[in-house]
Structure 1
Amino acid sequence: MRSTVAMRYFQLRAFDAVAREGSFTKAASLLGLTQPAITTQIRNLEEDCKQALFVRTNEGVHLTDAARPLFELTRQMFSTEEQIEDMVSQATMFRHGSLKLAADGPQVVLEVAAAFRERYPAIELSVSFGSQREVWDDLLEYRVDVAVIGNAKSDARVASIPVARQDMRVLVARGHPLAARKSVSLADLDAYPVLRREAGSNTQRLVDDAARHAKVALSTAMKLGSREAVVEAVRQGLGIGFVLERETPDGKRTVAIPVDELRGCNIDSVVCLHSQRKRAIVQTFLDIAATCASV
């Protein structure tokens, strides 16, 4: 009987890890196992459940509809286990443990992470980056413990602490007709083709909303999949782009100009699921984020 219970525990742990990571390989790394071992655990669990738990595609691994209730239960189960581990860690002032973070930009999250590491250097921090939509999905799917995101939408499942407010800047190449301006309006940009960000980008959404409100139709030079690509394309004279205040690159080849309609448009917040906030290490990270707040 004990052996059966132990087998089921490891199957559920493997299932929970694959569901969180969206990958058998990443789940194996998370649990310190080989990928074949994870595959075997999942196959045995699917046989016991008499149904498929995952859909495997070229984009990754996704839960079937039938598996979602099981994932909710395993999250409760392993979140409780994590809370127990946190209590033990807290008793020793977080002398071990880990925290997974995600963000839609590096500046704010790394500022808070630095403050956290200064107090708890033994905690292993990992940070992933993506669009606002990707980071939000990672949070809701339990792939990360805490996220730092711009203009986080209100959600009853999520606790949020605003930490920084930023202006939007239009980025132009040195020598551009607007380069000497101290500020511009969106109407001033009407004649210049814009380098657009990928779908799900918080930056692009803010620009599109402001342009729509101002009744300005900005033309598109090309669409690019990252902030870094936009900066390089501006340097190459391929168009103008938009970056948030803290993301402004050095001024050797570009100039960043405040946009009148987009001052203070972005509020970065540290967010977590309410269920994760019960973990002492997560709550401590939020407490430290609050001390870093400049909103």
Structure 2
Amino acid sequence: MRYFQLRAFDAVAREGSFTKAASLLGLTQPAITTQIRNLEDDCKQALFIRTNDGVTLTDAARPLFELTRQMFATEEQIEDMVSRATMFRHGSLKLAADGPQVVLQVVAAFRAHYPGIEISVSFGSQREVWDDLLAYRVDAAVIGNAKSDPRVALVPVARQDMRVLVPEGHPLATASSVSLADLAAYPLIRREAGSNTQRLVDDALRHAKVSPPTAMKLGSREGVLEAVRQGLGIGFVLEREIPDGERSIAIPVEELRGCNIDSLACLHTQRKRGIVQAFLDVASASARL
């Protein structure tokens, strides 16, 4: 069993893909495949279940992944210690978020202090971002209304209202604000399962005992915005997501004021890395609540 076999195993387990692991480590996919095959030969058992959608750990491999995470987390801490000695002039951070507005606000504040740090940000639904965080695929994440979890540290960074988006000429287009009851008769364009926005809206509608008809379900924020502009129904967006331009109007919803709190989340084990803790400190200092 060799270091590079364990490094390849850890990368595949984190990324859920041989191709993504190869990209992460700067290697070819055949090289990663060879390392994993050799490690499985040494362990005398399969470590991954291969499917068309990617790979997942076998039950026997999960304890090994916990150990490799400890091993490489310690290695990352050593790298951070070296980075601290040069005031973070070099290094990298991988982030995930369920929307671009808040995370890029924090990134801008961080880059003002540490311009030499390379930062990458991936976007997905709240569920996808949470899974990436727990699987160590990212160092930290910005999530709306993140659930409490003993493994995760949360730093609130922003609070937002929800707005209902209606097309131009809609009967409610001139309203200064609306209640959920006002929306009961209008077809709703819904977001995909795992959407923080849709979860907030569904909880509020259920509490208000309001059940608007469903016009359609779309898998992206951009899809909802365009569907509203085309007059296919009404939709919901957080206030920082209100689109520029004409063809739609965003109206405050009385029951959904201040309903969304965006937090920077990271695993407690990752806070030992100086660069991650520095990012949390900047996020806390730049919070807009």
Tell me which interval the TM-score lies in, with the shorter structure as reference length: over 0.9
* Cα distance between partner residues in 1 of 2:77 and 2:117: 15
- 1:281 aligned counterpart, secondary structure: helix
Q: Which residue of 1 aligns with 2:58?
A: 64
RMSD, aligned CA: 0.8
Structure 2 residues without counterparts, runs of 5 or longer: none
4, 8, 16: which one aligns with 2:2:
8
1:187 equivalenced with 2:164 (yes/no): no
Q: Which residue of 1 aligns with 2:202?
A: 208
Q: Report the more deviating stretch, 194-203 or 21-30.
A: 21-30
Residue 193 of structure 1 deviates from its aligned partner by 0.4
Q: Which residue of 2 aligns with 1:168?
A: 162
Q: Which residue of 2 aligns with 1:240?
A: 234
Report sequence identity in percent: 84
1:20 equivalenced with 2:38 (yes/no): no
Residue 282 of structure 1 deviates from its aligned partner by 0.2
Q: Which residue of 1 aligns with 2:147?
A: 153
Q: Which residue of 1 aligns with 2:38?
A: 44
Residue 251 of structure 1 deviates from its aligned partner by 4.0
C-alpha distance after superposition, 1:244-263 (max 9, x if no partner): 01001014111000111111
Give the structure-1-normalised TM-score: 0.97
Residue 268 of structure 1 deviates from its aligned partner by 0.1
Letter in 2 for 1:221: A
- 1:121 aligned counterpart, secondary structure: coil
1:114 equivalenced with 2:115 (yes/no): no
Structure 1 residues without counterparts, runs of 5 or longer: 1-6
Q: Which residue of 2 aligns with 1:268?
A: 262
Letter in 2 for 1:135: V
* Cα distance between partner residues in 2 of 1:188 and 1:120: 48
Q: Report the more deviating stretch, 94-103 or 56-65.
A: 56-65
* Cα distance between partner residues in 2 of 1:288 and 1:136: 21
Q: Report the more deviating stretch, 217-226 or 60-69.
A: 60-69
C-alpha distance after superposition, 1:9-36 (max 9, x if no partner): 1000000011111111111111111111
Letter in 2 for 1:138: D
Letter in 2 for 1:57: T
* Alignment of structure 1 residues 120-159 onto 2, 5 Å: 120-159=114-153
C-alpha distance after superposition, 1:218-270 (max 9, x if no partner): 21000000000000111111110000010010141110001111110000000
Residue 97 of structure 1 deviates from its aligned partner by 1.1
Residue 202 of structure 1 deviates from its aligned partner by 0.3
Q: Which residue of 2 aligns with 1:4?
A: none
244, 247, 255: which one aligns with 1:250:
244
Runs of 4+ in 1 over 4 A off after TM superposition: none
Residue 55 of structure 1 deviates from its aligned partner by 1.2
11, 22, 35: which one aligns with 2:29:
35
Q: State the aligned residue count.
A: 289
Q: Which residue of 2 aligns with 1:3?
A: none
Letter in 1 for 2:273: R
* Cα distance between partner residues in 2 of 1:197 and 1:292: 30
* Cα distance between partner residues in 1 of 2:220 and 2:74: 37
* Cα distance between partner residues in 1 of 2:123 and 2:86: 31
- 2:2 aligned counterpart, secondary structure: helix
Give the structure-2-normalised TM-score: 0.99
* Cα distance between partner residues in 2 of 1:91 and 1:9: 26
